[in-house]
Amino acid sequence: MKRIGMLTSGGDCQALNAAMRGVVKGLSNNVDELEVYGFYDGYKGLIYGEYRLLTSTDFSGILTKGGTILGSSRQPFKLMRVPDENGLDKVEAMKQTYYKLNLDCLVILGGNGTQKTANLLREEGLNIIHLPKTIDNDIYGTDVTFGFQSAINIATDCIDCIHTTAASHNRVFIVEVMGHKVGWLTLYAGIAGGADIILLPEIPYDIDKVIEAIEKRTKAGKGFTILAVAEGAISKKDAKLSKKEYKKKMEKSPYPSVSYEVADTIKQRTGTEVRVTVPGHTQRGGSPTPYDRVLCSRLGAAAAEAILEEDYGCMIGIVKNETARIPLEKVAGKLKVVEPDCQIIREAKTIGISFGD
């Protein structure tokens, strides 16, 4: 008999359902009896005891379904130790729910913040398995996160669509790609979509270099230029500011995001028309790609194996194409960023992509 709890926390992404299905299939095929409790809206469900006993029907037909059957919410890690408005100790409340249901383990699907709380619960003595979800691909210790490949497809489709209209007009186009503080999604979608310039948070840009790259294309007879700009991209000048100063600058900025600032500067300096497209949350939506479905089936199976062996306190990730159990204490709180001098950046530069540096 195994009794597990499951929750999905933070911003959603494709393949959350596929991952949960993988875990449940992996367990139900290998134990006589299985009880699965699904907590609603992330840690909120665990804190306030909002859950439901799930049955095999819940996991039927969800391999291809985007979103999460459990719902999700953001519960910031830094507030976990702060009592709620009614004075409730959230960590104690989560532990009580866990013990009340007599769980063998809690399977937590989420990104970086979620992982920090997962590690906190491990430190508090709960049996935890974490599955790395996020379109941002910024979870340290795993080569890839689920949601990332599906989001690359959507962001690439967007750049592809911009390409056809760009070819009809002499304009500069900017596609702003999600990714929070890292540039993985922009880098991959940018290369896949044939962007000419890619701006990432990890490689602060010099607007003069960006304009130089656009003018070089114009001189070469190219009518248009496409920029893939990460939502977290930052100029060399702004990168020198302290976090606080930068936050203040952005709050006062007349632009909704960095892409609009880049667009306006290019327009003023070159006289060229610039258009900005923001695919936004579409990047987290829709069905998972076949790659993510396979990835989540593998991660789910590997999580089930760890649970069967009662090997807890880890993230189930991918290391060199193999599923791996990575101790939470080694990875929680760390961020996987794009190294400015890594191979893929060097290769992108070799084929003429400018990073504005």
User: Which residues form the catalytic set?
Assistant: 136
71 scored as a contact of ligand F6P (CB under 6 A) = no
CB of 181 to ligand F6P, least distance (A): 8
The verdict on 11 binding ligand F6P (CB under 6 A) reads yes
| Pick 63 or 230: Cβ nearer ligand F6P | 230
CA distance 139 to 115: 9
Q: Is 127 in the site for ligand F6P (CB under 6 A)?
A: no
Residue 41 engages ligand F6P in binding (rule: CB under 6 A): no
Q: Of the two residues 73 and 96, which places its CB atom closer to ligand F6P in the complex?
A: 73
Give the burial class of 86: count Cβ atoms within 10 A of its Cβ; 0-12 exposed, 13-18 middle, 19 or more buried.
exposed
Identify which of residues 22 and 111 has a Cβ nearer to ligand F6P in the complex. 111
Please identify, using beta-carbon distances, which residue of 99 and 255 lies nearer to ligand F6P: 255
Q: At closest approach, how far in Å is the CB of 151 from ligand F6P? A: 8
Site for ligand F6P in 135-174 (CB under 6 A): 135-136
Q: Distance (Å, rounded) from C-alpha 109 to C-alpha 230?
A: 25
Q: Which of 72, 117, 134, 153 binds ligand F6P (CB under 6 A)?
A: 134
Q: Which is nearer to ligand F6P, 26 or 193 (CB)?
A: 193
200 binds ligand F6P (CB under 6 A): no
Span 251-310, contacts to ligand F6P by CB under 6 A? 284
Quick one: which segment of 128-136, 159-167, 192-200, 233-241 binds ligand F6P (CB under 6 A)? 128-136
Distance in Å, CB of 76 to ligand F6P, minimum: 11
Q: Which of 67, 111, 288, 313 lies at the binding interface for ligand F6P (CB under 6 A)?
A: 111
Taking the complex as a whole, the smallest distance from the CB of residue 348 to ligand F6P amounts, in Å, to: 21
Number of Cβ atoms within 10 Å of the Cβ of 251: 7
User: How many Cα atoms sit within 13 Å of 309 on the Cβ side?
Assistant: 11
- Number of helices followed by number of strands (H, E) in the chain: 13, 11
Q: At its nearest, how many Å lie between ligand F6P and the CB of residue 186? A: 10
Q: What is the Cα–Cα distance from 108 to 111, expressed in whole angstroms?
A: 10
Name which of 198 and 302 has its Cβ closer to ligand F6P: 198
Q: How far apart are CA 257 and CA 261, in angstroms?
A: 7
Question: Least separation, in Å, of the C-beta of 148 and ligand F6P?
Answer: 10
User: Per rule CB under 6 A, is residue 338 in the interface with ligand F6P?
Assistant: no
Query: CA 87, 91, 97, 99 torsion: positive or negative?
Result: negative
DSSP state of 172: E
C-alpha 143: how far from chain center: 13
Choices 22-30, 58-66, 90-98, 175-183; region in contact with ligand F6P by CB under 6 A: 175-183
Binding residues with ligand F6P: total (CB under 6 A): 10
The C-alpha atoms of residue 159 and residue 270 are separated, in whole angstroms, by 23
Which is it for the CA torsion 145, 227, 154, 294, positive or negative? negative
Q: Using CB under 6 A, which of 80, 159, 178, 187 touches ligand F6P? A: 178
Neighbouring C-alpha atoms within 13 Å toward the C-beta of 302: 22
Contact flag: residue 180 with ligand F6P (CB under 6 A): yes
Q: Give the CA-trace dihedral at 56, 318, 128, 39, to 10 degrees.
A: -40
Nearer to ligand F6P, 76 or 125 (CB): 76
- CA distances for 2 relative to 31, 32, 130, 238, 309, angstroms: 7, 8, 17, 52, 12
Q: Where are the alpha helices (DSSP H) in 175-312?
A: 184-192, 207-219, 236-239, 243-252, 258-270, 290-308
Binding characters for ligand F6P, 222-241, by CB under 6 A (x = yes): ---------x----------
Residues that bind ligand F6P (CB under 6 A): 11, 111, 134-136, 178-180, 231, 284
